[in-house]
Amino acid sequence: NAGVMQNPRHLVRRRGQEARLRCSPMKGHSHVYWYRQLPEEGLKFMVYLQKENIIDESGMPKERFSAEFPKEGPSILRIQQVVRGDSAAYFCASSRFGSYEQYFGPGTRLTVT
């Protein structure tokens, strides 16, 4: 049973470009969460999605960031017009409906130059 998959593992973008991070949840999991980890810090919640629905986006920056989890395909975290401060590791986690356990992917390390 494959775990949570994220790609790419490493992404380099110049300031002003767009970054697209993908997350495929574990089989049978319908909930997806995105977290951001800045250097030397813990993980901070960004957004919680179910298929075709954003449930909680209270941790998302108001501008430039968006997330989706379509009926088919992976969840996408999109960052428009990236800035140096967006450089971080972005983790996706998934869980089953009604479960409190979240399983994490390997993360995408975004570097903005």
Q: Which residues sit at the interface with other proteins, rule CB under 8 A?
A: 31, 33, 35, 41-45, 48, 55-56, 59, 89, 91, 93, 95, 97-104, 106-107, 109
Polymer length in residues for the chain: 113
Question: Closest approach of Cβ 13 to other proteins, in Å?
Answer: 19
Question: Closest approach of Cβ 44 to other proteins, in Å?
Answer: 7
Identify whether the C-beta of residue 35 lies closer than 8 Å to the C-beta of residue 53.
no
Q: Which is nearer to other proteins, 14 or 27 (CB)?
A: 27
Q: Which is nearer to other proteins, 40 or 63 (CB)?
A: 40
Q: Which is nearer to other proteins, 19 or 93 (CB)?
A: 93
Separation of alpha carbons 73 and 101, rounded Å: 22
Separation of alpha carbons 88 and 71, rounded Å: 28
Identify whether the C-beta of residue 60 lies closer than 8 Å to the C-beta of residue 67.
yes
